[in-house]
């Protein structure tokens, strides 16, 4: 009888020990993340409210949900690194998080240029649905980032490109005979496809170039036009959503791996919520800014379906060329069309 009692005591003691060890492991998992400070760098300035505000809310949510154990300090307006410098800095671990436009990833993920293909996405909502539906995973962006010591947290639409011009441009033929300021490779090809002469130019150069008539027109997002006060040097705005740009939200892999699984889940969930908040804010922003353009004297054009179809026909060769130069390019384009 005494032997049985001793056995029960040993079993109970063993259970208590196992339970205690489990608690220790759980505590250590969370304790390992205590007072973790992460640095988020972005070159976007406060004028990009629809990008910065959701990011600030992301940081607040992570801190609240981890009960203050993970804090994220945000440096905006290129305080730490300029646009093209942020991805390399995040790779090295000099910063923990960043959210550059997708175009800065094209050098090592050529297929990410799918977002810049003309008239592939109808509007911001369509672009976001495609991103949420797994577009980056489909084209291999997550794996490509992972190979560069980066973890993909999400992606959010940053607005469609519109036409700013001195004369009305509502048809492809009106691109001809004009010098266009372009933001990069695909936009340049789009302009050439419609008979225009593109010249690559940063947004900071636009105002003087248009004022001095070095260029006749440009294609840029609405927020760029507002931030650079292009309404002072052009007379017409044509809303076409010709192509889109978006932010890729990424984190240094070593910084990610230092977080326990429950904190990784919090960061990922909060990042996805940031994407949806940015979509909501950009829709409101674009609606308001178009009204502001009108009050400042710009003539705003909204091409009808026939005019948009004419644009699509004119730039179709750009999509065909992209499909032929990117492995599985046609498959990616079809995926984007059916997942938006």
Per-residue model confidence (pLDDT) at position 34: 66
Is the residue at 262 inside a domain? yes
Question: Residue 280 above 70 pLDDT?
Answer: yes
> What is the DSSP track for 284-317?
HHHHHHHHHHHHTTPEEE---HHHHHHHHHHHHH
Q: Are 285 and 189 in contact (CB under 8 A)?
A: no
Question: Residue 23 above 60 pLDDT?
Answer: no
Question: Residue 44 above 60 pLDDT?
Answer: yes
Is the residue at 340 inside a domain? no
Q: Are 164 and 236 in contact (CB under 8 A)?
A: yes
34-51 mean pLDDT:
91
pLDDT digit string, tens, across residues 115-127: 889 999 999 999 9
Task: Read off the pLDDT band of 40 (50, 70, 90).
Answer: very high
Q: Number of folded domains in the chain? A: 1
Between helices 124-132 and 261-295, what is the axis angle to 10°? Answer: 170
Rounded percentage of the chain residues whose pLDDT exceeds 90: 79
Task: Read off the pLDDT band of 18 (50, 70, 90).
Answer: very low
Question: Residue 216 above 80 pLDDT?
Answer: yes
Is the residue at 14 inside a domain? no
Q: What is the CATH number of the domain that holds 227?
A: 3.40.190.170
Domain of 249, in residue numbers: 21-334
Is the residue at 5 inside a domain? no
Is the residue at 25 inside a domain? yes
Per-residue model confidence (pLDDT) at position 29: 47
Task: Read off the pLDDT band of 22 (50, 70, 90).
Answer: very low
More confident site: 197 or 23:
197
Question: Residue 6 above 70 pLDDT?
Answer: no
Longest dimension (CA), the chain: 104
Is the residue at 121 inside a domain? yes
More confident site: 1 or 228:
228
314-336 mean pLDDT:
96
Question: Residue 325 above 90 pLDDT?
Answer: yes
Is the residue at 52 inside a domain? yes
Is the residue at 243 inside a domain? yes
Q: Are 173 and 195 in contact (CB under 8 A)?
A: yes
Q: Are 240 and 305 in contact (CB under 8 A)?
A: no
């Amino acid at each position: 009888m005494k032997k049985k009692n001793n056995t029960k005591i040993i079993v109970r003691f063993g259970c208590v020990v196992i339970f205690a060890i489990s608690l220790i492991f759980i505590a250590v998992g969370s304790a390992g993340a205590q007072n973790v400070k992460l640095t988020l760098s972005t070159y976007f300035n406060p004028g990009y409210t629809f990008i910065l505000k959701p990011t600030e809310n992301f940081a607040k949510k992570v801190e609240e949900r981890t009960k203050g154990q993970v804090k994220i300090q945000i440096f905006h307006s290129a305080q730490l690194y300029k646009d093209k410098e942020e991805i390399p800095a995040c790779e090295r671990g000099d910063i923990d998080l960043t959210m550059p436009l997708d175009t800065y990833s094209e050098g090592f993920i050529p297929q990410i240029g799918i977002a810049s293909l003309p008239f592939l996405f109808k509007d911001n909502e369509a672009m976001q649905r495609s991103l949420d539906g797994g577009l980056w995973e489909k084209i291999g962006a997550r794996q490509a980032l992972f190979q560069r010591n980066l973890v993909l947290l999400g992606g959010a639409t940053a607005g469609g490109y519109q036409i700013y011009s001195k004369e009305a441009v509502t048809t492809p033929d009106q691109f001809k005979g004009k010098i266009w300021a372009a933001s990069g490779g695909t936009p340049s090809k789009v302009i050439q496809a419609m008979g225009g002469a593109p010249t690559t130019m940063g947004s900071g150069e636009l105002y003087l170039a248009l004022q001095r008539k070095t260029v006749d027109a440009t294609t840029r997002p609405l927020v760029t036009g507002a931030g650079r006060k292009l309404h002072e040097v052009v007379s017409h705005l044509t809303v076409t959503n010709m192509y889109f740009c978006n932010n890729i939200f990424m984190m240094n892999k070593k910084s990610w791996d230092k977080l326990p699984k429950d904190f990784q889940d919090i960061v990922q969930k909060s990042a996805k919520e940031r994407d949806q908040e940015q979509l909501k804010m950009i829709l409101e922003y674009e609606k308001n800014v178009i009204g502001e353009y009108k009050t400042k004297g710009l003539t705003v054009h909204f091409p009808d379906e026939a005019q948009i179809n004419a644009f699509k026909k004119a730039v179709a060769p750009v999509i065909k060329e992209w499909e032929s130069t990117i492995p599985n390019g046609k498959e990616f384009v079809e995926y984007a069309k059916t997942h938006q």
